[in-house]
Amino acid sequence: MIHVSKNEVPERILKGRAPRTVFGSTDALFESHTMTYGYGRFSPDYDLPDPHVHAEEIIYVDDCKNATIRFGPTEDTMGEPDNLRPGDTLRFDDGEWHVFGYTDVADGFIDILFFYPSVGNIRPEDNK
């Protein structure tokens, strides 16, 4: 068994977010070839996130303020922002575009837990 605290997981600063990947095949504290799990903080302090697409993903919104989500079948057809609340669960289909945002950019953030299968090229822009 592995028992780890969130604060023991190194934070990676990326555009729009700071993930702490606990289990996974890339940049994780512990290697797993079947699943990826971790914590993420989205904040304007890290810039605004870009829309992206990848494998099926489940997200639990642990905490947030002035937070929104947009999603759709293509980057150009994502719908209007939907407000997020602590305790929300989101499931994105494989290949579904999505992006977090804020109703007040100066005073917004999103803390999440993320889960997805360990597959290659999950976020190709992170590997540049």
Say if 1 falls within a structural domain.
no
Tens digit of pLDDT for each residue in 38-87? 999 999 999 999 999 988 999 999 999 999 999 999 999 999 999 999 99
- Contact indicator for 78, 124 with CB cutoff of 8 Å: no
List CB contacts of 82: < 8 A, sequence separation 6 or more: 68, 69, 70, 71
- Contact indicator for 87, 61 with CB cutoff of 8 Å: yes
Say if 21 falls within a structural domain.
yes
Say if 18 falls within a structural domain.
yes
Q: What's the total number of domains in the chain?
A: 1
> Does residue 96 carry a pLDDT above 80?
yes
Q: What CATH number corresponds to the domain at position 64?
A: 2.60.120.10
Higher local confidence (pLDDT), 19 or 124: 19
Say if 59 falls within a structural domain.
yes
- Contact indicator for 55, 30 with CB cutoff of 8 Å: no
CA 16 to chain centre: 10
